[in-house]
Amino acid sequence: MLIIFKLLGSIALLMYGMKVMSEALQKMAGPQLRHVLGAMTTNRFTGVLTGMAVCVAVQSSAATTVMTVSFVNAALLTLSQAISVIMGANIGTTLSAWIMSAGFSFNIANLVWPVFLVAVILIQFKKHRYLGDFLFGLSFMFFALGTLNATGREMDLASNAQVVNFFSSFDSGSYLTILVFLVIGAILTCIAQSSAALMAITMVLCTTGVLTIYQGIALVMGENIGTTLTANLAALSANTQARRAALAHLVFNVFGVLWVLCIFYPFVRTACRLVGVDADAGVENPERLTFVLATFHTMFNVTNTLILIWFIPQIEKLVSKLIPHKVSEDDFRLKYIGAGIMKTPEISVFQAQKEIEHFAVRMCRVVNMVKELTHVTDDEAFQALYDRIAKYEQISDNMENEIGKYLGQVANAHLSDDTKQTIRAMLREIGELESIGDSFFNLARALMRKKNQKVSFTASQEAGLTEMYSLMGQCMDQMVLVLEGEADEQESTRLEIALNACRDRLRQENENAVDERDYSYACSTIYMDLVEECEQCGDYIVNVVEAKTGRDMDKRSNPK
Q: What does the pLDDT look like over 262-278, one tens digit per residue?
A: 898 888 888 888 887 77
Structural domain includes residue 138: yes
Structural domain includes residue 254: yes
461 plus 506 within the same structural domain: yes
pLDDT of residue 282: 58
389 plus 287 within the same structural domain: no
Q: Which residues contact 453 (CB under 8 A, 6 or more apart)?
A: 522, 526
Q: Which residue has the higher pLDDT, 167 or 470?
A: 470
Mean pLDDT of the 353-366 span: 89
290-348 tens-digit pLDDT: 888 888 888 988 999 999 889 988 998 998 888 886 543 334 566 777 544 445 666 67
Residue 249 CA to residue 245 CA, distance in Å, equals 7
Structural domain includes residue 57: yes
pLDDT of residue 556: 42
Structural domain includes residue 481: yes
Q: Domain boundary residue among 267, 291, 322?
A: 322
Residue 466 CA to residue 298 CA, distance in Å, equals 66
pLDDT of residue 137: 79
Residue 130 CA to residue 112 CA, distance in Å, equals 18
Residue 26 CA to residue 415 CA, distance in Å, equals 9
364 plus 220 within the same structural domain: no
Share of the chain above pLDDT 90, in %: 19
Structural domain includes residue 23: yes
Residue 475 CA to residue 495 CA, distance in Å, equals 6
In terms of Cα–Cα distance, which of 326, 549, 539 is closest to 421? Answer: 549
400 plus 542 within the same structural domain: yes
pLDDT of residue 446: 93
CA 148 to chain centre: 32
- State residue 286 phi and psi, 5-degree precision: -60, -25
21 plus 151 within the same structural domain: yes
Q: How confident is the model at residue 12 (pLDDT cuts 50, 70, 90)?
A: confident
109 plus 254 within the same structural domain: yes
Residue 9 CA to residue 7 CA, distance in Å, equals 5
pLDDT of residue 215: 83
Q: Which residues contact 371 (CB under 8 A, 6 or more apart)?
A: 469, 473
349 plus 318 within the same structural domain: no
Tell me how long the chain is: 560
Q: Is residue 344 within 8 Å of 30, Cβ to Cβ?
A: yes
- State residue 338 phi and psi, 5-degree precision: -115, -165
Mean pLDDT of the 75-81 span: 75
418 plus 303 within the same structural domain: no
Q: What is the DSSP string of 128-173?
A: GHHHHHHHHHHHHHHHHHHHHHHHHHHHTGGG-HHHHHHHHTS-TT
216 plus 315 within the same structural domain: yes
Q: Which residue has the higher pLDDT, 477 or 144?
A: 477
Structural domain includes residue 339: no
Q: What is the pTM of this model?
A: 0.58
pLDDT of residue 435: 93
Structural domain includes residue 334: no
DSSP letter for 541, please: H
- Alpha-carbon torsion, ordered 40, 42, 43, 47, to 10 deg: 20
146 plus 279 within the same structural domain: yes
Mean pLDDT of the 23-31 span: 64
Domain of 397? 345-549
Mean pLDDT of the 449-471 span: 91
pLDDT of residue 231: 64
Structural domain includes residue 504: yes
Number of domains in the chain: 2
The pLDDT of residue 38 is above 50: yes
What's the CATH number where 400 sits? 1.20.58.220
In terms of Cα–Cα distance, which of 180, 214, 216 is closest to 198? Answer: 216
Mean pLDDT of the 492-521 span: 89
From the CB of residue 103, how many other CB atoms can be counted at a distance below 10 Å? Answer: 23
Mean pLDDT of the 94-99 span: 75
Q: Domain boundary residue among 288, 322, 356?
A: 322
pLDDT of residue 249: 86
516 plus 392 within the same structural domain: yes
241 plus 272 within the same structural domain: yes
Residue 22 CA to residue 52 CA, distance in Å, equals 15
Exposed/middle/buried for 165, CB within 10 Å: 0-12, 13-18, 19+? exposed
- The secondary structure element, H or E, covering residue 227 is none
pLDDT of residue 22: 65
From the CB of residue 390, how many other CB atoms can be counted at a distance below 10 Å? Answer: 15
